[in-house]
Amino acid sequence: MYKTKIAGIGKYLPENIVRNEDLMKYMDTSDEWIQERTGIQERRYAKKHKETTATMGARAAEVAIQRAGIDKEDVDFIIFATLSPDYYFPGSGVLMQRELGITHKEAGCLDIRNQCSGFVYGLSIADQFIRNGVYKNVLLVGAEMHSMGLDFTNRGRNVTVIFGDGAGAVILQPTTEPDQGVLTTHLHADGTHAEELSMISPGAHGGKHTGLEGFGFPDPSVPGDVFVTQKMVDDGLMFPNMNGQLVFKTAVVKFPEVIHEALTKAGLSSEDIDMFIPHQANLRISNFVQKKLNLPDEKVYNNIQRYGNTTAASIPIALCEAWEEGRVKRGDLVCLAAFGAGFTWGSALIRW
């Protein structure tokens, strides 16, 4: 029976550094206010009209492919996780495949929209393919270009200050080593509060569950009905919104739960964890979960201070940095966990 190992890992961060002070030019905020609530000091923004979610994913993928010691033509399946795709459709997976120049291989591409939990969900999907012998080189990418869709006014500041751009990638391969590979993954979702962390317009909802009756795709039977209305623009309905208190309260419950679920399944305890890499949502959430797990600082990796929340990209970027710094080594037990929009959440245990 095969298990799944991470054979190569890479990341890409745009060159443009945006500090908290830079955002003060656009909205009433401060470095102190942002750091106190999120822990973020700076984030990266991609080059407008020159970089995209797919191209950043390709840059991270190239590093992962090289480190795995394979050729890009060896990739036989692609999983792309993002909430900020290049286009409404098609998905960014095929766009990245084209960017990498491996379309002649006709490797399958799967785009997943699990937001902050996207990388963990993608890892679980890839693990099933590899364990069953379907694929030998799965390219899993998490990439985000939030900067193109944020509200840089006082109306959107509570959300805008949090997010940054970037990409992370891994090559996943089968292994028969008894002390290596993905041990277990656990995925959950509850759509009860879906609108509390969402971007709902434009869309096909027609106002259902949103209090925005009449919005959504145009009705061809109604003269003048349009896809995007002036009210959507004026009221900022085309930007992300978040009920921060509800997200925080739910996250600090679900994070520890799904981690303990994984540890119990593997017959391990939090003391066995060598490196915990949470989704970089909020430093306060990460610190809370760290205390609940009773983990020392050297067993937790956070980089939200430098990159902000890169949602689906945050775990692979942090995992790549931790590995590059020598903080993740062969034989280490690595715990990944994420919580985000949907709500969706998940965890994974990996023996490196």
Query: Does the active-site annotation cover 116?
Result: yes
Decide if 149 contacts 87 (C-beta within 8 A): no
Decide if 131 contacts 2 (C-beta within 8 A): yes
Query: Does the active-site annotation cover 279?
Result: yes
Q: Quick one: which of 72, 123, 74, 238 has its CA closest to 110?
A: 123
Measured between alpha carbons, how far is 170 from 4 in angstroms, rounded to an integer?
12
Among 146, 302, 309, 335, the one annotated catalytic:
309
Decide if 178 contacts 165 (C-beta within 8 A): no
Q: What is the CA radius of gyration of the chain?
A: 20
Q: What is the token pair recorded at 182?
A: 């993905």
Among 109, 114, 116, 146, the one annotated catalytic:
116
Q: Which residues, listed in sequence order, are joined to residue 44 by a DSSP beta bridge?
A: 17
Helical (H) or strand (E) element with 247? helix 244-266
Q: What is the token pair recorded at 38?
A: 């999120």
Query: Does the active-site annotation cover 309?
Result: yes
Backbone dihedral region of 233: left (phi > 0), alpha (psi from -120 to 50 degrees) or beta? alpha
Among 137, 186, 279, 282, the one annotated catalytic:
279
Residues annotated catalytic, as ranges: 116, 279, 309
